[in-house]
Chain A
Amino acid sequence: MKHRNWSSWLFLLAVVISVTLVGCQSKAQPASLVYGLTLIPSGIDPHIHASSELGIPLRSVYDTLVYLDPDTGVFVPGLATEWTVSEDGRRYTFKLRTGVRFHDGSRFDAQAVKFNLERVLNPETGSQKARYMVGSLRQIEVPDELTVVLDLAEPYAPLLDSLSQVYLGMASPTAVQKWGNADYQFHQVGTGPYRLAEYVPGDHLTLTRYTDYDWGPSFLRAEGRNQVGEVVFRFYQDPATRAVALESGQAHVMGEIPPQDAARIEGRSDLALLPVPIPGQPLQLFINSTRPPTDELAVRRALIQAVDRAAVVQTVFGSWSPVADGPLTAVTMAHLGGFGDMYPYRPSVAAALLDQAGWVDPDGDGVRARDGRTLNISFYYMSWGMMPEVAQMVENAWRAVGFQVESQLVAYPAALEAARNGDHNVIPFNLSGTDPSMLDSFYTSGGGFNWSKVSDPDLDAWFQAASVSTQLAERITLYQRAQQRIMEQALVMPVRDYVNLNGVSRQMAGLRYDAQGWFPLLATLSVQE
């Protein structure tokens, strides 16, 4: 009797389990998709905050006046159907699309554009990034309901690129006025293919599909039929948890997979690895050209030639990231290569450069000195982006040719402070972006990120000329000239071109990224049948 009882219970259990499994299988089709973010942004209002993480969800919430086509690199219509730029480069006239409605039902028109740009310009908004992307924009005119004219004090060549970015996305004036600058980030309303449903800081952010959306550029048109109804963004700050979250099915898409986990993702049948090269600057070490001993060109060159950059990249980033070959990554407009040829890995050359400059090691303690001063390098680095790993290898290489290295792992605010004060000889940093004008603030006298502390009248003049030129070819020539000078002066040691390793579940199809490389075009995503 007892035995029979057991077996009937077992049978029942088996039935329950199999029914549950079948149920799970049919449910496993994610109408709702989990997308893993890597950093918790301090705020996500794109007009106010500067985080690049915020664009990952919000690129799909907002439309921009123009879009940068990720396939062709050409600006294509967004909310503006056509535009003209005056000959002197100071007036931009946009014709707007008709029939566009915000997620809250309000109408998109020229007044909305004016409202958005004025919000960005208004000092009370406290914009950390968007305000610096519009050049000397001083007035927004609205001749009629569907025409906007932007009037600039000085020509600003990167303006179209700026207007294609989420930081200048078009928000619903009704919603912004209703919630105010502080709370709008929780109730954002745009015209994009997804609407912001909920944002709980540090926990999750939910987007739901905006079914009326039909005005996007061609590359935003979805091809699959099973589009994703809901996307939930969750945070995976610790790199070690990212691949695990994908493998266990907790997340369907994940950015910034650590290289050591990427091969495993690639080898799995249920997951795919999608490496996306990021335009902008490579991971690079800025070398301070004012603080001894790196105020000497020979010392800066020695620092560079002592390091086997290819081995560093291979060891830390695996085979997915190219070795950087200039101050811009290879996929960036106006990229100039040749750094590797200019400074091949030659520890012997590095040693000879230092010998010639009088930095010698007569007492044989392995550390060079001159006039009683040791060849000491103050090296700051931050904890993200595999910088500690890179730092260890680079330090080792420098010690091998006779540098003494004092390295410090610091948090970002401390790094900013050290870099501003010039307490560093070497510090890594990089920004991403599609327009080479990002180099301005890094290499012009008094630039906000001028961590090489360079003050070169030629560079200043070239950058100024490039930012006001309306001729693309001329701009490219100027930026390349500047890059050549930056390399000759050894102001920076580029390490690796940034490649974002995205892991994606094979249940999903059509995942692609915008021209900035970081931001997914969620509208094209669909569930595999």
Chain B
Amino acid sequence: MTNVLRRESHRLSRPFSTAGWCSAAVLALIVLLAGLAPWIGLPDPLAMSPPDRLQPPGAQHLLGTDPFGRDLASRLVWGSRRTLAAAAVAVLITLGGGLPLGLLAGYHRGWIDELIVRVVDVLLAFPGVLMILGLVALLGPGSRTVALAVGITGVPVMTRVVRSAVLSVREEAFVEAARSVGCRAGRVVVRHLLPNVAGPVIAFTAVQFGWAMLNATAVSFLGLGESPAVPEWGTMLNLGRGYLRSAPWASAVPGLAITVTVLCVNLLSDTLQDRWNPPGRG
């Protein structure tokens, strides 16, 4: 027990870096805007107004308008709901699949471990995007299937990460102790292993969130997500792409939004990783 407590205090002693705080603040702002989208007086993101098409950023349209005269700021904020939701759902699916599989493989070892690791290795041999595209082709286009496909594609990596984290703590004295006082496997996993692998898993989940967002937008950029009318960062980027020379903002706005969000997520996950996974522990 003392062992565990010492570990906890050691973790809490590492402060967030400036980059970590900044990215957390930016992400909080993005999530807040997404949450408050219906109440902050944005123009209708679907309302087309041909006379206002391709207006540059300015007083009337903060971020300009797209080729149909729709307000880009409004589409960006409304689009963030869909984009963030797709990434969140995907990550939950990844976590829901990868966490139990990784715990099972890492703690149980033996033939189950062997089986899971083999299957995971095979799946990891496919390029992620290829697998996502294949799954979307199989399940049919739409933002739900995109989230599902991205989520499923993340499961093998998540399984590996969880498993290796479990492997690194399962031989520790406190696990040994729990086992020797007669704890059942379930209790050992939930009460002793899970809290001790949570750090790296959370850090990796954050990385995975950025990856999921990037891939979900990539797939909808390719036209496999929602109908292009629906505001979503990937489809906005695709629409703007045809106007790179005449109206660079139409693609720069969603493009920068994706970049900034993924960058912040990655910085935050770095910080989390430093905090929970000090270099000494590998």
- Residue contact A409 to B223, C-beta cutoff 8 Å: yes
Query: How far is the CB of A448 from the nearest CB of chain B, in Å?
Result: 27
| Bound Cα distance A314, B48 (Å) | 13
- Residue contact A260 to B67, C-beta cutoff 8 Å: yes
Q: Is B242 on the interface with A (CB-CB < 8 A)?
A: yes
- Residue contact B229 to A395, C-beta cutoff 8 Å: yes
Query: How far is the CB of B234 from the nearest CB of chain A, in Å?
Result: 13
Which residues of chain A are within 8 angstroms of B246 by Cβ–Cβ distance? 260-261, 263-264
Instruction: List A475-523 residues whose CB lies under 8 Å from chain B.
Output: none
Which residues of chain B are within 8 angstroms of A409 by Cβ–Cβ distance? 141, 223, 227-228
Please name the residue on chain A nearest to B250 by beta carbon.
A260
Query: How far is the CB of A122 from the nearest CB of chain B, in Å?
Result: 38
Residues of A in contact (CB 8 Å), total 24
Q: Is B21 on the interface with A (CB-CB < 8 A)?
A: no
Q: Is B61 on the interface with A (CB-CB < 8 A)?
A: no
| Bound Cα distance A407, B243 (Å) | 24
Looking at the complex, which one of A239, A243, A392 makes contact with B68 (CB distance below 8 Å)?
A: A392
Q: Is B195 on the interface with A (CB-CB < 8 A)?
A: no
Which residues of chain B are within 8 angstroms of A263 by Cβ–Cβ distance? 246
Contacts known (A264-B246, A393-B68, A408-B141); A388 close to B48, Cβ less than 8 A: no
- Residue contact A260 to B242, C-beta cutoff 8 Å: yes
- Residue contact A389 to B67, C-beta cutoff 8 Å: yes
Q: Assign chain B's interface to a size class.
A: 20 to 34
Looking at the complex, which one of B141, B228, B247 makes contact with A388 (CB distance below 8 Å)?
A: B228
Please name the residue on chain A nearest to B229 by beta carbon.
A392
Q: Is B241 on the interface with A (CB-CB < 8 A)?
A: yes
- Residue contact B67 to A311, C-beta cutoff 8 Å: no
Which residues of chain A are within 8 angstroms of B229 by Cβ–Cβ distance? 392, 395-396, 407
Q: Is A416 on the interface with B (CB-CB < 8 A)?
A: no
- Residue contact A392 to B228, C-beta cutoff 8 Å: yes
- Residue contact B227 to A258, C-beta cutoff 8 Å: no
Cβ contacts A231-243/B at 8 Å (1 or 0 each): 0000000011001
Cβ contacts B5-34/A at 8 Å (1 or 0 each): 000000000000000000000000000000
Cβ contacts A384-424/B at 8 Å (1 or 0 each): 00001101110110000000000111000000000000000
Q: Is A315 on the interface with B (CB-CB < 8 A)?
A: yes
Contacts known (A408-B141, A409-B228); A315 close to B68, Cβ less than 8 A: yes
- Residue contact A243 to B245, C-beta cutoff 8 Å: yes
Which residues of chain A are within 8 angstroms of B46 by Cβ–Cβ distance? 396
- Residue contact B227 to A407, C-beta cutoff 8 Å: yes
| Bound Cα distance A78, B242 (Å) | 42
- Residue contact A315 to B245, C-beta cutoff 8 Å: no
Instruction: List B73-96 residues whose CB lies under 8 Å from chain A.
Output: none
| Bound Cα distance A407, B227 (Å) | 7
- Residue contact A240 to B242, C-beta cutoff 8 Å: yes
Query: How far is the CB of B267 from the nearest CB of chain A, in Å?
Result: 32
- Residue contact A383 to B223, C-beta cutoff 8 Å: yes
Looking at the complex, which one of A240, A389, A395 makes contact with B241 (CB distance below 8 Å)?
A: A240
Cβ contacts A353-389/B at 8 Å (1 or 0 each): 0000000000000000000000000000001000011
Which residues of chain B are within 8 angstroms of A407 by Cβ–Cβ distance? 227, 229
Which residues of chain B are within 8 angstroms of A461 by Cβ–Cβ distance? none
- Residue contact B48 to A396, C-beta cutoff 8 Å: yes
Contacts known (A395-B229, A396-B229); A264 close to B245, Cβ less than 8 A: yes
Which residues of chain A are within 8 angstroms of B223 by Cβ–Cβ distance? 383, 388, 409
Contacts known (A389-B67, A396-B229, A408-B141); A315 close to B50, Cβ less than 8 A: yes
Contacts known (A239-B242, A261-B246); A315 close to B227, Cβ less than 8 A: no
Q: Is A244 on the interface with B (CB-CB < 8 A)?
A: yes
Give the interface centre of B53, B242, B246 by most chain A CB atoms within 10 Å. B242
Which residues of chain B are within 8 angstroms of A408 by Cβ–Cβ distance? 141, 227
Interface of B is mostly: loop
Q: Is B244 on the interface with A (CB-CB < 8 A)?
A: yes
| Bound Cα distance A311, B50 (Å) | 7
Interface of A is mostly: helix
Cβ contacts A241-276/B at 8 Å (1 or 0 each): 001100000000000001011011000000000000
Cβ contacts B231-252/A at 8 Å (1 or 0 each): 0000000010111111100000
| Bound Cα distance A382, B92 (Å) | 33
Which residues of chain A are within 8 angstroms of B227 by Cβ–Cβ distance? 391-392, 395, 407-409
- Residue contact B141 to A314, C-beta cutoff 8 Å: no
Please name the residue on chain B nearest to A263 by beta carbon.
B246
Instruction: List B197-233 residues whose CB lies under 8 Å from chain A.
Output: 223, 227-229
Which residues of chain B are within 8 angstroms of A311 by Cβ–Cβ distance? 50
Which residues of chain B are within 8 angstroms of A393 by Cβ–Cβ distance? 48, 68
Which residues of chain B are within 8 angstroms of A314 by Cβ–Cβ distance? 50
Query: How far is the CB of A239 from the nearest CB of chain B, in Å?
Result: 6
Query: How far is the CB of B86 from the nearest CB of chain A, in Å?
Result: 18
| Bound Cα distance A383, B239 (Å) | 12
- Residue contact A315 to B242, C-beta cutoff 8 Å: no
- Residue contact A315 to B53, C-beta cutoff 8 Å: yes
Which residues of chain B are within 8 angstroms of A258 by Cβ–Cβ distance? 242
- Residue contact A244 to B242, C-beta cutoff 8 Å: no
Please name the residue on chain B nearest to A383 by beta carbon.
B223
Query: How far is the CB of A355 from the nearest CB of chain B, in Å?
Result: 24
Instruction: List A288-314 residues whose CB lies under 8 Å from chain B.
Output: 311, 314
Please name the residue on chain A nearest to B140 by beta carbon.
A408
Query: How far is the CB of B171 from the nearest CB of chain A, in Å?
Result: 53
Which residues of chain B are within 8 angstroms of A240 by Cβ–Cβ distance? 241-242, 244
Please name the residue on chain A nearest to B247 by beta carbon.
A260
| Bound Cα distance A393, B48 (Å) | 8
| Bound Cα distance A252, B162 (Å) | 57
Looking at the complex, which one of A243, A261, A264, A315 makes contact with B67 (CB distance below 8 Å)?
A: A315
Instruction: List B230-282 residues whose CB lies under 8 Å from chain A.
Output: 239, 241-247
Query: How far is the CB of B23 from the nearest CB of chain A, in Å?
Result: 32
| Bound Cα distance A383, B69 (Å) | 21
Please name the residue on chain A nearest to B242 by beta carbon.
A240
| Bound Cα distance A240, B250 (Å) | 14
For this complex, 30 residue pairs linking A to B, each with C-beta atoms less than 8 Å apart, are: A239-B242, A240-B242, A240-B244, A244-B245, A258-B242, A260-B54, A260-B242, A260-B243, A260-B246, A260-B247, A261-B246, A263-B246, A264-B246, A311-B50, A315-B48, A315-B50, A315-B67, A383-B223, A388-B228, A389-B67, A389-B68, A391-B227, A392-B68, A395-B227, A396-B48, A407-B229, A408-B227, A409-B141, A409-B227, A409-B228
Known A260-B246, A315-B69; 6 more pairs at CB < 8 Å: A239-B242, A260-B247, A261-B245, A392-B48, A395-B227, A409-B223
